[in-house]
């Protein structure tokens, strides 16, 4: 039996034939299955790599955008810093410029730099002017000025009309205050030393009465003139400047009376005493009413105006128009102007009036500057 089994070659009952696997078939099947299972994973690897590349690119884009936003923020911050620095420079330039101007003035410079410093530096700069200041056409300014001057003329004319009836008494009082004699002695003709007024023109007495009445009106109208100039400039004045100007109104009247007293008690007596002294031994003096009275009125009116010099100087300095240092530097120019005014508007036959007027103007100018130096202005 055993031999028969070996010869036929049939498999035995033990099943050994199942354990024998063809080498090629089994290997191919497993490899195909492995490749079938592996191929989807292998295909997904490049996709995942591409996705990762896209994600990295997106991350780089986000990083770049974040950097650009950070750069924009930095630029904005730098711009704000520049604007803050410019504002700080602008704020610092104002006081520094003002300080330089004041320093220049204190050193004796001219006030011309004030207009340059007050000029606007940019389009957005604003100038805070007086509270009531507003722009007006030139024609309206001229009309306003004419109205103010007309008010002064009306006051002067009204006072002159009131004084005109008593003008002969004022003429006699002024005449015999400096010349010997009296109205009664002239009418009686009893004294040879009486300097009686003589009229060489038909209207000489009438003109003299008008002139003496006009002198009184001029003196009374001086403070009115100051007040009208205040009203004309009031919209462009600050409150403290308005107070200065209003205080100048009574001061102007006071200084006018001081000038009248100065000419009445000092200037005119010196002029007529000198005139009588050098001419009475040569010829008999005949005083004409028109010429002599013109000299008296001109001297009195001129000194009433000259004594306004201290008021105008102090008013100009208090309002910031000029400074004491500038006036001290330009004093010789003012002296020259005073001398020219004195010799042009002082028709005195003795030649003394121009010197007296000029010296008085220079003295008032220098005394005012001395007072300002003493008060520290």
pLDDT tens-place values along the chain, 377 residues long: 444 444 444 444 444 444 444 444 444 444 444 444 444 444 444 444 444 445 444 555 555 555 555 555 555 555 555 555 555 444 444 444 444 444 444 444 444 444 444 444 444 444 455 666 667 788 888 898 999 999 999 999 999 999 999 999 999 899 888 888 777 778 776 666 678 888 888 888 899 999 999 999 998 998 898 889 888 888 878 888 888 888 888 888 899 999 999 999 999 998 888 877 776 666 677 788 888 888 888 889 899 999 999 999 988 888 888 999 999 999 999 999 999 998 887 767 677 888 999 999 999 999 999 998 988 76
Would you say residue 217 lies in a domain?
A: yes
Does 132 fall in a domain? no
Q: Which residues contact 150 (CB under 8 A, 6 or more apart)?
A: none
Domain count for the chain, please give it: 1
Q: Are 254 and 308 in contact (CB under 8 A)?
A: no
Torsion of Cα atoms, 218 then 221 then 227 then 231, to 10°: -90
239 occurs within a structural domain: yes
Contact 308/256 with Cβ under 8 angstroms? yes
- Cβ burial of 299 (10 Å; 0-12, 13-18, 19+) is buried
**Structural domain harbouring 288:** 138-307
Confirm if 211 and 329 have CB atoms less than 8 A apart. no
From 316, 318, 307, select the one nearest 376 (Cα to Cα). Answer: 318
Handedness of CA 91, 94, 97, 102 (dihedral sign): negative
∠ CA 79-84-90 to the nearest 5 degrees? 125
Distance CA 150, CA 152 (A): 5
Cα–Cα distance for residue pair 33/243, rounded to 1 Å: 114
- Paired with 222 in beta bridges are none
CA dihedral for 174, 177, 180, 184, sign (positive or negative)? positive
81 lies in some domain = no
Evaluate whether residue 247 is within a structural domain: yes
The answer to whether residue 229 is domain-embedded is yes
Helical ranges in 280-352 per DSSP H: 289-306, 309-318, 324-329, 331-344
Residue 314 lies in a domain: no
Q: Is 164 within the bounds of a domain?
A: yes
């Amino acid at each position: 039996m055993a031999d028969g089994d070996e010869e036929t070659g049939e498999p035995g009952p033990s099943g050994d034939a199942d354990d024998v696997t063809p080498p090629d078939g089994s290997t191919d099947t497993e490899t195909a299955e492995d490749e079938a299972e592996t191929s989807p994973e292998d295909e997904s690897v490049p996709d995942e790599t591409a996705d990762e590349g896209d994600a990295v690119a997106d991350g780089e884009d986000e990083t770049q955008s974040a950097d650009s936003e950070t750069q924009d923020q930095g630029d904005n911050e730098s711009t704000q810093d520049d604007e803050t620095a410019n504002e700080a420079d602008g704020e610092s330039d104002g006081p520094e410029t003002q300080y330089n101007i004041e320093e220049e003035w204190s050193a004796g410079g001219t006030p011309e730099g004030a207009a340059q410093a007050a000029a606007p530096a940019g389009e957005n700069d604003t100038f805070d002017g007086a509270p009531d200041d507003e722009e007006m056409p030139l024609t309206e300014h001229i009309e306003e000025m004419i109205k103010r001057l007309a008010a002064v003329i009306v006051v002067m004319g009204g006072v002159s009309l009131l004084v005109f009836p008593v003008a002969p008494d004022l003429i006699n009082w002024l005449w015999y205050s400096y010349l010997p004699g009296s109205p009664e002695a002239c009418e009686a003709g009893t004294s040879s030393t009486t300097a009686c007024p003589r009229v060489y023109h038909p209207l000489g007495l009438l003109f003299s009465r008008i002139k003496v009445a006009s002198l009184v009106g001029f003196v009374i109208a001086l403070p009115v003139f100051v007040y009208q100039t205040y009203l004309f400039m009031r919209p462009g004045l600050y409150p403290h400047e308005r107070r200065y100007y209003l205080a100048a109104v009574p001061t102007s009247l006071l200084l006018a009376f001081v000038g009248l007293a100065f000419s009445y008690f000092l200037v005119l007596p010196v002029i007529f005493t000198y005139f009588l002294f050098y001419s009475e031994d040569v010829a008999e003096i005949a005083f004409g009413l028109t010429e002599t009275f013109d000299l008296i009125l001109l001297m009195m009116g001129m000194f009433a105006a000259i004594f306004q010099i201290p008021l105008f100087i102090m008013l100009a300095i208090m309002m910031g128009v000029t400074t004491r240092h500038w006036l001290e530097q330009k004093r010789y120019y003012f002296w020259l102007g005073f001398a020219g005014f004195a010799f042009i508007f002082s028709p005195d036959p003795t030649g003394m009036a121009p010197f007296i007027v000029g010296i008085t103007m220079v003295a008032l100018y220098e005394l005012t500057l001395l007072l300002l130096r003493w008060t520290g202005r």
